[in-house]
Amino acid sequence: MNRFSIFITVFALFFSAYAFAETATWKIDADHTSAHFSIQHMVIAKVRGSFAGIQGKVTADENNLTAAVVEATIPVATINTNNARRDEHLRSADFFHAEKYPEMIFKSKKVTFGAAENTLNVVGDLTLHGVTREVELLVSGPTPAVTDPWGNTRRGAQATTIINRKDFGLAWNKALETGGLLVGEEVDIVIDVELVREKN
């Protein structure tokens, strides 16, 4: 092997090692992450609620964010609308049926850059209530990395989307005497995420 071939081989190995080093896994910090939602009630106002205990990870290359892979799991039983009676109804078979379908799961399939600066469009499969549908998340971020007082590297992001609950078999409703339905069908979702980089 001549010197030029040796140089090319060494360069290729170095470049491959460098590219691999840029790929990192970021775990979702459940204590600082939450999913919020809002839905129309009686055609006159919106009810808001949230989920907690979100688990998951993002595997990403700093130099190629469109190759990122996102996975997240949300425990349905954590639903909180600040009304215990309503929350129990939402956990029941009329809605989420949390005993049978305890988790909603998102797995990304494609990531592209968004129209606005520092945004991404993340397309993936959302499994909810035993039904899997493709959804698209508009992600703002990720933020620049920061180091916390314990030496952990952190980043943040916010994801938004709108889903139709009937697409996932959440069809319970009641007609109003004045017209319209008790519960709206479209659900606005906002997920605030804090990520911690796994240490090698």
Amino acid at 170: L
pLDDT tens series, the chain, 200 aa: 555 444 444 444 444 433 344 789 999 999 999 999 987 754 456 888 999 999 999 999 888 889 999 999 999 999 999 989 989 988 999 888 999 999 999 999 999 999 999 999 999 999 999 999 999 999 998 999 999 999 999 999 999 999 998 899 877 665 544 544 456 777 899 999 999 999 87
What are residue 73's phi and psi, to 5 degrees?
-130, 130
Amino acid at 22: E
Q: Which two tokens stand for residue 100?
A: 């049978």
Q: What is the CA radius of gyration of the chain?
A: 21
pLDDT at 170: 77
Q: Where are the domains of the chain?
A: 24-197
pLDDT at 47: 84
Class of domain 24-197: mainly beta
Q: What is the full DSSP assignment across the chain?
A: --HHHHHHHHHHHHHHHHHHHHEEEEEE-GGG-EEEEEEEETTTEEEEEEE---EEEEEEETTEEEEEEEEEEEEGGG-B-S-HHHHHHHHSTTTT-TTT--EEEEEEEEEEE-SSTTEEEEEEEEEETTEEEEEEEEEE-PPPPEE-TTS-EEEEEEEEEEEEGGGGT-----B-TTSSBSEEEEEEEEEEEEEEEPP-
**If you count them, how many residues does the chain have?**
200
